[in-house]
């Protein structure tokens, strides 16, 4: 199996929009997720670009 990416590459980006891990401790807390749509869109775009770049690796 060829690994096309490292988890750390995406963890940093996701960490910008998810302030702390989900789980029992996050129930009822609204500040877990980023509320600025522009920041969420920017992170989504960056992850998409990284996935696209990773698709060219190992070929």
CA dihedral 21, 26, 30, 36 (to 10 degrees): 10
Helix or strand holding residue 52 (H, E): helix 37-55
The domain ranges of the chain are: 7-55
Token pair 């980023």: residue: 34
Instruction: For residues 27-35, give the mean pLDDT.
Output: 78
pTM: predicted TM-score of the whole model, two decimal places: 0.68
Q: What is the mean pLDDT of residues 11-29?
A: 78
6: pLDDT confidence band, cut at 50, 70 and 90?
confident
Look at 21 and 17; give whichever has higher pLDDT. Answer: 17
Average pLDDT for 10-29: 78
Return the minimum-mean-pLDDT range out of 11-15, 50-54, 55-59: 55-59
Distance CA 2, CA 18 (A): 28
**Structure-token match 């096309």, residue found:** 4
CA-wise closest residue to 48 among 34, 40, 1? 40
């Amino acid at each position: 199996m060829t690994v096309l990416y490292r988890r750390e590459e995406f963890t940093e980006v996701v960490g910008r929009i998810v302030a702390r891990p989900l789980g029992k401790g996050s129930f009822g807390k609204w500040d877990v997720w980023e509320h600025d749509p522009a920041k969420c869109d920017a992170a989504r775009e960056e992850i998409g670009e990284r996935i696209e770049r990773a698709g060219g690796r190992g070929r």
